[in-house]
């Protein structure tokens, strides 16, 4: 359904998306997972024809995103990170306005507005101005707005950003339902590992504009666990930096992260790993409170692959579009 080939986007000298290729199958929920500033949003903007690739190409439903952008636009729906709603218009007026841009007839549009509002339990707020809505309500509106044209492909850019846990769950369930019932192909971005793990069929982990891993969630986890790998969460009463340091020098230990004043997380491999770790704690006279054998999470996958933790790197990396943008000289066709 979506085919991306060597897609690259540069803002001046900064490479936001670096020679990316992947395919999304019809009816799949595909996740782009990575920290802020990794280039996820830029990929979505290019695929939804809002930004022009510097080089490379992509097709959505067999239409080229630069040559047949009109056809692409009639196939897709976009839920952007910013809410695409007019605060001074009512829920119905907002949906009516955007629906009319898709040339929907009056009858079809009126029916669909009612159905969609019903679907997200906003029917009773139909004639209230969107500006008076809570963030969760607005986000639900924002999602159904993108569904007015029954898109075959839905792009979701951080759909649960800034929502409380309950609203997040509702939105995620809604996305899954949409995929199940309408067979909508969904491409979503998130920086939340849990979210990607919960709803995505396949996940592409993105870091610094590159895809560093692409597989199903369970395969990604298997790739770092397996017989050879041990992940332990150890509680030590008298935890010292000296102890952590000595543990890091062990050959079998890959990484040690301190969670708080008593817990550490150890990622190791090799058959002798367990013994070696316990021995090193004993020699430093550490008192072990608890040992837990951990199943790897996507977070560990990310850590393992990229060698650094998921964190917000926006302050140093993301090129603010508004600050460059719009000057034609920056663009290369």
Contact call for residues 17 and 42 (beta carbons, < 8 A): yes
Q: Is 21 helix (H, G, I), strand (E, B) or coil?
A: strand
Distance CA 41, CA 82 (A): 11
Q: Identify which of residues 76 and 236 has a Cβ nearer to other proteins in the complex.
A: 76
Query: Shortest Cβ distance from residue 127 to other proteins (Å)?
Result: 13
333: nearest Cα among 54, 65, 66: 54
Q: Identify which of residues 109 and 303 has a Cβ nearer to other proteins in the complex.
A: 109
Contact call for residues 303 and 309 (beta carbons, < 8 A): yes
C-alpha to C-alpha distances, 14 to 55, 145, 248, 321, nearest whole angstrom = 14, 33, 35, 12
What percent of the chain is helix, strand and coil (3-state, nearest 5)?
Answer: 40, 25, 35
Q: By CB under 8 A, name the binding residues for other proteins.
A: 48-52, 69-71, 73-74, 76-78, 80-86, 88-89, 93, 97-98, 100-103, 129, 145, 321-328, 330-331
Q: Identify which of residues 128 and 262 has a Cβ nearer to other proteins in the complex.
A: 128
Query: Shortest Cβ distance from residue 99 to other proteins (Å)?
Result: 9
Query: Shortest Cβ distance from residue 83 to other proteins (Å)?
Result: 7
Query: Shortest Cβ distance from residue 94 to other proteins (Å)?
Result: 9
Q: Identify which of residues 48 and 229 has a Cβ nearer to other proteins in the complex.
A: 48
254: nearest Cα among 267, 272, 273, 241: 267
Q: Identify which of residues 142 and 225 has a Cβ nearer to other proteins in the complex.
A: 142
Q: Burial of 215 by CB count in 10 Å (0-12 exposed, 13-18 middle, 19+ buried)?
A: middle
Query: Shortest Cβ distance from residue 81 to other proteins (Å)?
Result: 8
């Amino acid at each position: 359904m979506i085919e991306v080939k060597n897609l690259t986007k540069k803002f001046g000298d900064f490479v936001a998306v670096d020679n990316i290729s992947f395919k999304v199958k019809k009816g799949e929920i595909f996740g782009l997972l990575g920290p802020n500033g990794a280039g996820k949003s830029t990929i979505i903007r290019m695929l939804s024809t809002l930004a022009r690739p510097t080089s490379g190409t992509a097709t959505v439903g067999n239409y080229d995103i630069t040559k047949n952008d009109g056809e692409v636009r009639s196939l897709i729906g976009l839920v952007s990170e910013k809410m695409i709603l007019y605060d001074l218009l009512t829920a119905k007026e907002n949906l009516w306005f955007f629906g009319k841009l898709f040339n929907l007839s009056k009858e079809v549009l009126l029916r669909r507005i009612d159905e969609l509002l019903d679907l997200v339990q906003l029917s009773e707020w139909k004639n209230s101005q969107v500006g008076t809505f809570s963030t969760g309500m607005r986000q639900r509106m924002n999602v159904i707005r993108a569904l007015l044209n029954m898109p075959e492909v839905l792009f979701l850019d951080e759909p649960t950003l800034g929502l409380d846990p309950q609203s997040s769950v509702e939105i995620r369930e809604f996305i899954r339902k949409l995929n199940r019932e309408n067979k909508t192909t969904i491409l979503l971005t998130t920086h939340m590992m849990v979210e990607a793990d919960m709803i995505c069929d396949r996940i592409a982990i993105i870091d610094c504009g590159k895809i560093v891993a692409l597989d199903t969630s369970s395969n990604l986890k298997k790739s770092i666990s397996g017989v050879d790998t041990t992940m332990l969460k150890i509680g030590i009463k008298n935890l010292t930096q000296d102890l952590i340091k000595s543990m890091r020098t062990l050959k079998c230990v890959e990484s040690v992260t301190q969670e708080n004043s008593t817990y550490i997380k150890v990622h190791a491999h090799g058959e002798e790993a367990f013994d070696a770790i316990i021995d090193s704690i004993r020699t430093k006279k550490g008192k072990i409170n608890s040992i837990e054998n951990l199943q790897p999470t996507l977070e560990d996958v990310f850590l393992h692959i990229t060698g650094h933790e998921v964190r917000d790197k926006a302050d140093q990396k993301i090129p603010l579009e508004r600050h460059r943008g719009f000057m034609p000289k920056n663009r290369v066709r």
